[in-house]
Amino acid sequence: MSLDPKTRRLAKGLFKLSLEDGTVSQSRVTAVLAWVDRERPLQTSNLLREYLRLITIEVDRGQARVEHAGDLEPQALGQIATSFSRLYGRPIETTSVTNPDLIAGLRIRVGCDVYENSIASQLAQLETSTL
């Protein structure tokens, strides 16, 4: 799908209006969507698709998805949130997901960044280095 420059600029502008103190504001997103519903700009579906993409990227930047094989202490999640908030210079919330395929260790994803130190990744590295 090719997005025309005017629609892309409008989506970016609407995205910027959706931010409050550098984070996505639910009330502002609601207001933007009400405006789109009321005004019906050209290429509304393409505009909304691009707007959703931008909002999703921004929301993902503020969340750390922590995958682990076994139990994870709540204090560990708090320490991870604190460390990543300091690293990225913005508030990071954590969500915990059990993934038995990791065998042991953690995989943490913040936006597009992935940090992994698990037995499964070490075994995969070992396998590729011996081939």
In 5-115, which residue ranges form alpha helices assigned H by DSSP? 5-17, 26-39, 44-61, 74-88
**Reported pTM:** 0.75
Question: What does the pLDDT look like over 72-112, one tens digit per residue?
Answer: 888 999 999 999 999 999 899 999 999 988 888 899 999 99
Distance between CA atoms of residues 108 and 72, nearest Å: 13
Q: Where are the domains of the chain?
A: 5-60, 62-130
Give every CB contact of residue 63 below 8 A, 6+ residues apart in sequence. 92, 93, 94, 95, 110
pLDDT higher than 80, residue 1: no
